[in-house]
Amino acid sequence: MATERATEISQAQIAVHWKEEEYVRPTTKFVGQANLVDPAVTERFSEDHFPECFREYADLLNWSQYWHTTLDTSNPPFWKWFVGGKLNACYNCVDRHLAKYGNKAALIFVPEPEDEPVYTITYQELFTRVNEVAAVLRDFCGLNTGDRVTIHMPMIPELPITMLACARLGIVHSVVFGGFSGEAAGLRAADSGSRVMIYADGYYRNGKIVDHKPSADIAVALAEKEGQNVEKVLVWRRHYGQCLSTKPMVPGRDYFMDEVLKDFKRAKVDPISMDAEAPLFLMYTSGTTGKPKGCQHRTGGYLAYVTGTSKYYQDIHPEDVYWCMADIGWITGHSYIVYGPLALAATSVLYEGAPNYPDAGRPWRIAEQLDVNIFHTSPTAIRSLRKTGPEEPKKYNYHFKHMTTVGEPIEPETWRWYYDVVGKREAVIVDTWWQTETGGFLCSTKPALDPMKPGSTGPPVLGIFPIIYDEEGKEVATGSGKAGNICIRNPWPGIMQTVWKDDDRFVKQYYAKYCKNRQSKDWRDWPYFAADGAVGPPDGYYRILGRVDDVINVAGHRLGTKEIESACLTVPEVAEAAVIPVVDEIRGRMPVVYVSLKPGVSDGTRVKEEIVSTIETMIGKIARPKAVNIVPDLPKTRSGKIMRRVLAAISNTMDTGDVTTLANPDVVELIRRQVQGEGPVVMKEGPEDVKRFGESE
């Protein structure tokens, strides 16, 4: 059953969401200045030249010791890149730029309150501050190379400064998105074995002060419960000398960074020459189980890959002002706000707040004020800015040469507004498809060389060779119009090394499904399973249809439904819980919760409130469900499996399919009436990820 649905997707079904769009070509002005204009690059990165082609990226970096082997495949799928090489990521993002760009802006910080002035950190200043923080980590916290540090911070410049200070010493940073709860941070701190956590006292979001320090206390307590002692919490203050938090500092554990730093003024810490394969950071992401996994990224391959793709696909030059509106707490921020742009000596803008605050003109005012010429954001942000201020961009005198969309599929209509109104028909657009696991882009047009096609991510990026498989492992031919599971046939330098402390999960999750021979040392036998559905049309421009596992992509952010279900089940009155995605006009998808209650519970309203607040507490506001439905029973198979697909169909007013074989078929109609009202069944073709939801179980 699952097999048929996964692969037999007809042209007609796909056409509901996708029709062939006309190509759009970049302007000659853009092409005239682009980094990548030599069509021979495609040949240089052809399969015949794999893996040596990636030297072109690695050579953008300074190595303290050059590598001897580009790719070692002796222990699949634990690939090793640039073996024998040594380098320091912080040195490459900071020190090496000082001679030429010392006085140039490295970071421009835009506070959310508009009356607070923007401030600029030059490469020289960044160097000074990163050194001082590195000295604190080493000499005050006693941290060593290879130790892990959990950083739970908002979008303030001290976040990249702290990350770079870690990288300088080979300390593995694990940044947790600032909007996640203290519980979520504590869980991640425990998993990574962090004995130091780094916080900010508070920040501004949507015009309000968010008191962030309480999260630290929760995180430390939770980590403790999980067996991890957090010895020190360093707290950056958003305004030096005054505290935005009402929470007291815990003596002997909590320290204000500005006070500790007084003893480390002008300290210098030599960057440690790290093995190319040494881990640079962990980034936790959601998967099919309730427990987030720590994607472990390597130093050399990762940095080479994000630097190369930033240069060729983001078209970053040192003189550009580049603004990626993502949060550094997600992979996009790591790769394309911090490491890639800074390795290229760009000026990277950091905006603290909400895109729509105080109004939908804010991003365009920032762009005008700072002369931003490269802009990078998600379809959710674009949809929301369009809805609240469709004419706003016209009021401001800025000019983008290049724009990126990332994180979710973008509808052609939204793409067009982005192109016509935001980009003023001057800016090229790249629709970049990739994942936390992949370090950098997997598919995108080459901005000056390939035409754009609204709604399609485009061809694979240089050195990436995708393939679409059906559930049986048969190749789905490109151009057949059929959908299947998109995989990458080859290793590439940006791919994660493993799941932190869980090699088995790494193999199982990403390689077991399509591995042709477990004994083989040939990379060709080990395709990477991305867990996304895709169609490969005849022109080779891939269309990503969304996740094929139990992950919901909310506003471009990955949430595991199992994590949300686990949170619901901690509410004592809840007997069973199922979480499914519902299509949302702005945020792409949102979670909807279905629960059945234990016998004798009568106050449904209170339970609903408690479920919502528990989800917010255990995960974060981003996981807030669009609806909570208390139902008499959840639809189940005779073997007791909850049919999430049926619930997803109901919430999205789609056909529930044949439910007669369920153990409790009658409940389906009951739930349908409860959710959709008394009217007749509305049948709608839904998007692939919703239609197939829950089938990976």
Q: Of the two residues 162 and 445, which places its CB atom closer to ligand PRX in the complex?
A: 445
| Number of neighbouring beta carbons within 10 Å of residue 188 | 27
Preceding omega of 51 cis (within 30 degrees of 0) = yes
Q: Of the two residues 131 and 380, which places its CB atom closer to ligand PRX in the complex?
A: 380
- Which among 349, 334, 324 has a CA at the least distance from the CA of 162? 334
Q: Of the two residues 150 and 286, which places its CB atom closer to ligand PRX in the complex?
A: 286
Q: Of the two residues 222 and 648, which places its CB atom closer to ligand PRX in the complex?
A: 648
Residues 547-566, mask of contacts with ligand PRX (x by CB under 6 A): x-----x---xx--------
Binding flag, residue 331, ligand PRX (CB under 6 A): yes
Bridge-partner residues for 87, per DSSP?
274
Q: Of the two residues 433 and 693, which places its CB atom closer to ligand PRX in the complex?
A: 433
- Please answer whether residues 223 and 259 qualify as being in contact, where contact means their C-beta atoms are separated by less than 8 angstroms: no
Q: Of the two residues 285 and 629, which places its CB atom closer to ligand PRX in the complex?
A: 285
DSSP assignments along 178-189, one per residue: TTB-HHHHHHHH
To the nearest whole angstrom, how small is the minimum distance from the Cβ of residue 56 to ligand PRX?
Answer: 23
To the nearest whole angstrom, how small is the minimum distance from the Cβ of residue 459 to ligand PRX?
Answer: 13
Out of 72, 183, 277, 431, which residue is the one contacting ligand PRX (CB under 6 A)? 431
- Please answer whether residues 355 and 325 qualify as being in contact, where contact means their C-beta atoms are separated by less than 8 angstroms: yes
To the nearest whole angstrom, how small is the minimum distance from the Cβ of residue 434 to ligand PRX?
Answer: 5
To the nearest whole angstrom, how small is the minimum distance from the Cβ of residue 658 to ligand PRX?
Answer: 28
Preceding omega of 379 cis (within 30 degrees of 0) = no
Q: Of the two residues 285 and 445, which places its CB atom closer to ligand PRX in the complex?
A: 285
Out of 122, 192, 245, 432, which residue is the one contacting ligand PRX (CB under 6 A)? 432
Q: Of the two residues 279 and 458, which places its CB atom closer to ligand PRX in the complex?
A: 458
Q: Of the two residues 101 and 510, which places its CB atom closer to ligand PRX in the complex?
A: 510
Near ligand PRX by CB under 6 A, which window of 10-18, 298-306, 432-440, 561-569? 432-440
Out of 73, 215, 307, 436, which residue is the one contacting ligand PRX (CB under 6 A)? 436
The Cα-based distances of 233 to 159, 169, 236 in angstroms read 14, 19, 10
To the nearest whole angstrom, how small is the minimum distance from the Cβ of residue 335 to ligand PRX?
Answer: 8
- Which among 434, 427, 454 has a CA at the least distance from the CA of 340? 434
Q: Of the two residues 156 and 559, which places its CB atom closer to ligand PRX in the complex?
A: 559
Out of 122, 131, 285, 347, which residue is the one contacting ligand PRX (CB under 6 A)? 285
* Touching ligand PRX, residues 510-549 (CB under 6 A): 532, 544, 546-547
Out of 91, 255, 322, 434, which residue is the one contacting ligand PRX (CB under 6 A)? 434
167: buried, middle or exposed (CB in 10 Å: 19+, 13-18, 0-12)?
buried
| Number of neighbouring beta carbons within 10 Å of residue 358 | 13
Near ligand PRX by CB under 6 A, which window of 264-272, 367-375, 429-437, 480-488? 429-437
HEC secondary structure over 550-614: CEEEECCEEEEHHHHHHHHHCCCCEEEEEEEEEEECCCEEEEEEEEEECCCCCCHHHHHHHHHHH
What whole-number distance in Å separates Cα of residue 674 and Cα of residue 644? Answer: 16
To the nearest whole angstrom, how small is the minimum distance from the Cβ of residue 381 to ligand PRX?
Answer: 13
Which residues lie closer than 8 Å to 158 by C-beta, 6 or more apart? Answer: 200, 236, 257
Which residues lie closer than 8 Å to 541 by C-beta, 6 or more apart? Answer: 453, 456, 457, 458, 459
Q: Of the two residues 94 and 461, which places its CB atom closer to ligand PRX in the complex?
A: 461
To the nearest whole angstrom, how small is the minimum distance from the Cβ of residue 641 to ligand PRX?
Answer: 24
Out of 347, 435, 485, 497, which residue is the one contacting ligand PRX (CB under 6 A)? 435
- Please answer whether residues 14 and 483 qualify as being in contact, where contact means their C-beta atoms are separated by less than 8 angstroms: yes
**Amino acid letter at 595?**
V
Residue number with the shortest CB distance to ligand PRX? 436
To the nearest whole angstrom, how small is the minimum distance from the Cβ of residue 457 to ligand PRX?
Answer: 5
To the nearest whole angstrom, how small is the minimum distance from the Cβ of residue 561 to ligand PRX?
Answer: 14
| Strand stretches in 51-177, DSSP E | 69-72, 80-83, 86-87, 105-110, 119-122, 148-153, 172-177
What is the CB-side half-sphere exposure of residue 199 using CA atoms within 13 A? 35
To the nearest whole angstrom, how small is the minimum distance from the Cβ of residue 488 to ligand PRX?
Answer: 12
What whole-number distance in Å separates Cα of residue 504 and Cα of residue 232? Answer: 32
Q: Of the two residues 203 and 434, which places its CB atom closer to ligand PRX in the complex?
A: 434
Q: Of the two residues 67 and 510, which places its CB atom closer to ligand PRX in the complex?
A: 510
Size of the site for ligand PRX (CB under 6 A): 21
Q: How much of the chain is in helix, strand and coil states, percent to nearest 5?
A: 35, 25, 45
Q: Of the two residues 223 and 338, which places its CB atom closer to ligand PRX in the complex?
A: 338
Bridge-partner residues for 348, per DSSP?
107, 322
What whole-number distance in Å separates Cα of residue 235 and Cα of residue 248? Answer: 12
To the nearest whole angstrom, how small is the minimum distance from the Cβ of residue 438 to ligand PRX?
Answer: 8
Out of 88, 92, 332, 596, which residue is the one contacting ligand PRX (CB under 6 A)? 332
Computed from CA positions of residues 364, 370, 375, 381, in that sequence, does the dihedral angle turn out positive or negative? negative
Q: Of the two residues 463 and 533, which places its CB atom closer to ligand PRX in the complex?
A: 533
Binding flag, residue 219, ligand PRX (CB under 6 A): no
The Cα-based distances of 259 to 275, 280, 554 in angstroms read 34, 28, 39
HEC secondary structure over 454-490: CCCCECECCCCCEEEECCCCCECCCCCCCEEEEEECC
Near ligand PRX by CB under 6 A, which window of 28-36, 81-89, 426-434, 462-470? 426-434
Near ligand PRX by CB under 6 A, which window of 157-165, 430-438, 504-512, 619-627? 430-438
Q: Of the two residues 237 and 386, which places its CB atom closer to ligand PRX in the complex?
A: 386
Binding flag, residue 629, ligand PRX (CB under 6 A): no
* Touching ligand PRX, residues 350-409 (CB under 6 A): 406-409
Which residues lie closer than 8 Å to 540 by C-beta, 6 or more apart? Answer: 459, 460, 478
To the nearest whole angstrom, how small is the minimum distance from the Cβ of residue 551 to ligand PRX?
Answer: 7
For residue 311 the two structure tokens come to 């240069």
What whole-number distance in Å separates Cα of residue 174 and Cα of residue 328? Answer: 11
Q: Of the two residues 523 and 529, which places its CB atom closer to ligand PRX in the complex?
A: 529
- Please answer whether residues 579 and 647 qualify as being in contact, where contact means their C-beta atoms are separated by less than 8 angstroms: no
HEC secondary structure over 630-647: ECCCCCECCCCCECHHHH
To the nearest whole angstrom, how small is the minimum distance from the Cβ of residue 555 to ligand PRX?
Answer: 10
* Touching ligand PRX, residues 457-516 (CB under 6 A): 457
Near ligand PRX by CB under 6 A, which window of 412-420, 434-442, 510-518, 610-618? 434-442
Bridge-partner residues for 498, per DSSP?
296
Q: Of the two residues 70 and 432, which places its CB atom closer to ligand PRX in the complex?
A: 432
To the nearest whole angstrom, how small is the minimum distance from the Cβ of residue 689 to ligand PRX?
Answer: 8
- Contact residues: ligand PRX, CB under 6 A: 285, 331-332, 406-409, 431-436, 457, 532, 544, 546-547, 553, 557-558
